[in-house]
Structure 1
Amino acid sequence: MTVRLRYDDGTIRIDADEPLPPLPGVTDDERTGDVRAAAFRYAAIRRALEVAGRSVDDAVLATEPLALSTAYDLRPYQREALDAWTDADRRGVVELPTGAGKTVVAIAAMADRDRPTLVVVPTIDLLEQWRSELEREFDVPIGQFGGGQQRREPITVSTYDSAYLKADDVGESFGLVVFDEVHHLGGEGYRDIARLLPAPERLGLTATFERPDGEHRAIEELVGPLVYAVDVDSLAGDHLAPYDVRRLEVDLTDDERERYERQQGVFVEYLRESGLTLTSGSDYRKLVKRSGRDPRAREALLAKQRAREIMMNAERKRDVLEGLLDRHREDRVIVFTAHTDLVYDLSERFLIPAITSETGAAERREILERFRDGTYSRVIAANVLDEGIDVPDANVAVVLSGSGSEREFTQRVGRVLRPKADGGRATVYELVTADTAEERVADRRR
């Protein structure tokens, strides 16, 4: 007998007149008498029915071929990535360094599959970049969810936020979904995007797949496993610029050292007295929860934050930066920091255009365009350029401060790795305050 599959508000409804074979993730629906499963199970359910020899009346997707083609000539590693994804039943994650052409791999996959596609991105900047790229490459209308528009087309680009709101309304429209910066999908709310879409083919793109909190395992279930990865060093010199990372240590001033040790001491003393150890992110979250009911825990966290700000914003980092800017006056330089206040301070001190989360989109585009055309030779930013923005070519990065995140460091290094016209090397300077916790932070991210 025939099994009927249909899509209904983020679920797959399964109707059959005879008992069903074992199917992944199905539950009984007491209201209707049929069975259902989360939409992302669609491909596995269809495959299980076929293996069981059951005839399927499939009304889940309403899609037609689009006659897509691309003029991109894939580099060898891009072809390997696409082939690996294809061999994994077109479900999985591709990990490539920033600047290595993840978008090219996705466009090639879209052309190869020739079916309606939803591309999900984390920021408005990426939304606009993807839409422009797709409009140049494909002769079909490109829709957009986000940025003031809600227009569905056979190929549509959406922010994660908009996709979260619309996934159960548009699920039957797309056979392929591309998750750019797929590590964002590990967030609990965003996972529903992948759960509610039945698209059998799924491609995740990222520069660093693993999340410190381990939630990349959820992504593996919803999108697929890591099917291809290549690191920066494997591509440097051939497809990316060769580069050097130079770690420069600075000392705290006497006043900064006294204040740092005092604040750090408050934090360490609380941990000792309370018997706490911080060996993972979950341990730190426990301390944060405790601070809601324990004033001493709250004061310890505040002291830790004050100590962190002292070491990350050390005055002598400014002196070293001044020397680096002078040394690289003929180069194109991006300065990264962890704190917005420091960005504005350095912007005023060295007359460098600043980009922060407070910078409007139009102003940010203008600064980057002037950086691109050579009007500006340097910019300074607090985190906002780490990902999701097409940053013009630069050959020197100065990391004044940051987190212990490998992803953050990888993204920042990637900003200066585009191949240089003159074949020159890129340089990344990492400024670290000596004899502080920042040394451990730097070691961890490296």
Structure 2
Amino acid sequence: MPVALAYEDGTIRIDGRHDSLDGLPFVERDDRTDTYRAPAYRYPDLRAHLETFDVPVEDSVPDWERISVRSDYVLRDYQRDALDAWTDARRRGVVELPTGSGKTVLGIKAIESVDQSALVVVPTVDLLVQWRDELDAEFDCDVGQLGGGTQELEPVTVSTYDSAYLRADELGDHFGLVVYDECHHLGGEGFREIARFSAAPARLGLTATFERPDHAHETVETLVGDVVYRLSPDDLAGDHLAEYAVKRVDVPLTDEERERYDDAQGTFVEYLRTSNLSFSSGSDYMELVKRSGSDPRAREALLAKQEARRIVSESENKIRELERILDRHRGDRIIVFTASTDLVYRLSERFLLPAITHETNTAERRDFLDAFRDGTYSRIVTANVLDEGVDVPDANVAVVLAGSGSEREFTQRLGRVLRPKDDGGRALLYELVSADTAEENVADRRR
């Protein structure tokens, strides 16, 4: 008796009784319909399992179509190795490459190699436009767009994670390949459904920073595949990315700042000593925030921690050191990263720097970046907006005035200056750290 497979409600409905289904861990009995069910992302595994038992299958799942597209890109050696590794892994898995190493090109060549309807999922509208422009330029076919005010579905389509999540059930059987750009976002609780509901046999995750502090990358591995190829900035520096150096500058607090910092940090540490919180993980911070709603001492400690962090992030000597760096690199293209929007605007006013924050609208941000690209502006200041998901023009100097202990954030900021330079010059990242403060531990963690 044949087994019939159909896509339904983000699952694979299995009609027909066969002993091979018994004990299959991802197949469950649906007593309501007298059928079996499997998560849609398990479709390739289900087909492979049934083939080993030589079971006749009537398969109506694939709603994708064959396409024939070709691009003019020629892969570099490491890009070819990455594509081969992904192909050898049954076209499932994650490729981790540094910012500026050509992950978009790799995704385009993957679409070319699969020759089936393809969906590219991206985290921001900026990347949505960037990917659509690239695909329009490379492929002789209509390119659809879901997001940014447009809802056009084509055999090759680019979507934001938000739009793909809202239409996950509809898109689940429509594409034979899904490319997840910045795929660490797929670990988010809602975004996981994009991959869970997809029956696509081919899945490619692209990222510069795969592992997440909350270990949600393990879920991404289940839904997309393991990391099949990985290179660091050091692996590509000199040949395909700029040679680079990271220069840490320890900056002392002023006497007045030191007094305020010691007082605030002392209040925070004293609370920790009696509260059974160690701040060894992000969950401890959330626990402190939770307690601050009902415990006056916890609220005092939380406010003290925030004040101590503000003092070390925005110290006057850091700003003076930044002034020296800007003067020293008058002929360079510089991106200054801070940890707060308020400081972005203060630095913008003090040094006449174009400021890009979450408050900057899309058109204005694009104008700033275009002016940075053509040399009208040689320096910009931002908080977290340019860490990822935005096509940032080439720079050769970055200054991290303040940041978190996240290795991902640091790697992304470094990646903003790693694209090869026309003159073969070296990239430089300055890391300003308030000496003899908790910020030293934060800097050590992210490195």
Structures share fold, TM-score greater than 0.5: yes
**Which residue does the alignment assign to 2:99?**
98
Opposite residue 405 of structure 1, the aligned amino acid is S
Deviations 1:28-51 (A, max 9, x none): 212111111211111111111111
- Say if 2:338 and 2:401, in contact at 8 Å, map to a contact too: yes
Contact 1:24–1:41 (8 Å) recurs in 2? no
Specify the SS of the correspondent of 2:173: helix
| 1:283 Cα deviation from its structure 2 partner | 3.1
User: 1:177-215 deviations in whole A, cap 9, x for unaligned?
Assistant: 010000111111111111111111110000011111111
- Is the 1:332–1:396 Cα contact (8 Å) retained in structure 2? yes
What is the aligned-residue RMSD (CA, Å)?
1.1
1:6 pairs with 2:12 = no
Task: Write out aligned runs for 1:30-41 (5 A).
Answer: 30-41=31-42
Paired position in structure 1 for 2:205: 204
Letter in structure 2 aligned against 1:40: Y
Report the counterpart of residue 118 of structure 2 in structure 1.
Answer: 117
1:144-155 to structure 2, matched below 5 A, reads 144-155=145-156
Unaligned runs of 5+ in 1: none
In the other structure, the counterpart of 1:330 is 331
Identity of aligned residues (%): 66
Structure 1 pair 153/24, CA: closer, same or farther in 2 (3 Å)?
farther
- Runs of at least 5 residues in structure 2 that lack an aligned partner in the other structure: none
Cα distance in 1 for residues equivalent to 2:75 and 2:153:
29
Q: How do residues 66-81 of structure 1 correspond to structure 2 at under 5 angstroms?
A: 66-81=67-82
By how many angstroms is 1:153 displaced?
A: 0.5
1:384-423 equivalences under 5 Å are 384-423=385-424
Contact 1:23 1:48 in 2 (8 A): no
Amino acid at match of 2:156: I
Question: Contact 1:207–1:411 (CA<8 Å) still a contact in 2?
Answer: yes
Further displaced range: 298-307 or 139-148: 298-307
State the alpha-carbon separation in 1 of the partners of residues 83 and 302 from structure 2: 46
Tell me the distance in 2 between the aligned counterparts of 1:273 and 1:18. 61
- Please show how residues 20-39 of structure 1 align to structure 2 within 5 Å: 20-21=20-21, 22-39=23-40
Q: TM-score, length-normalised on structure 1?
A: 0.98
- Contact 1:146–1:162 (CA under 8 A) maintained in structure 2: yes
Q: Is this contact kept in 1: 2:164–2:171, CA < 8 A?
A: no
Distance (whole Å) between structure 1 residues aligned to residue 40 and residue 354 of structure 2: 47
CA distance in 2, matches of 1:403, 1:15: 52
In the other structure, the counterpart of 2:215 is 214
User: Contact conserved, 1:24 with 1:45, CA < 8 A, in 2?
Assistant: no
After superposition, the C-alpha distances for 1:116-165 in whole angstroms (9 at most, x for unaligned) are 01111000000000010110011111111111111110011111111110
Name the amino acid aligned to 1:2. Answer: P
SS of 1:274's equivalent in the other structure is coil
Provide, for residues 69-114 of structure 1, a one-character-per-residue CA deviation record: whole Å limited to 9, x for no partner: 1211101110111011111111110000000001111111110001
- Kept in 2, the 8 Å contact 1:336–1:400? The answer is yes
Look up the equivalent residue of 1:336 and give its one-letter code: F
The 3-state SS of whatever aligns with 2:69 is: coil
Give the C-alpha shift of residue 53 in structure 1: 1.7
Calculate the TM-score normalised by the size of structure 2: 0.98
Aligned partners of 1:209 and 1:396: how far apart in 2? Answer: 25
Of residues 85-94 and 293-302 in structure 1, the stretch that sits farther from structure 2 once superposed is 293-302
**Alpha-carbon distance, 1:278 to partner:** 2.0
Q: Which amino acid aligns with 1:268?
A: V
Name the amino acid aligned to 1:289: K
Deviation sequence 1:375-423 (CA, Å, 0-9, x none)? 1111111110000111111111111011111111111111111111111
Matches of residues 45-60 of structure 1 in structure 2 within 5 Å? 45-60=46-61
Post-superposition offset of 1:440: 0.5
2:12 partner letter: I
What is the CA deviation profile of residues 298-334 of structure 1, one whole-angstrom value per residue up to 9, with x for unaligned ones? Answer: 2212211111111111111110011111110011111
CA distance, structure 1, for counterparts of residue 304 and residue 385 of structure 2:
26
Which string of whole-angstrom CA distances, capped at 9 and with x for unpartnered residues, describes residues 216-240 of structure 1? 1011101101110000011000000
- Give, in whole Å, the separation in 1 of the partners of 2:275 and 2:445: 25
1:20 Cα shift?
4.0
Alignment-derived partner of residue 272 in structure 1: 273
**1:23-422 correspondence to structure 2 within 5 Å:** 23-422=24-423
Separation of aligned partners in 1, 2:307 and 2:134:
44
Q: Which residue of 2 aligns with 1:425?
A: 426
Distance in 2, Cα, partners of 1:332 & 1:27: 58
What SS does the corresponding residue of 2:284 show, helix, strand or coil? helix
* Whole-Å separation in 2 of the counterparts to 1:296 and 1:141: 60
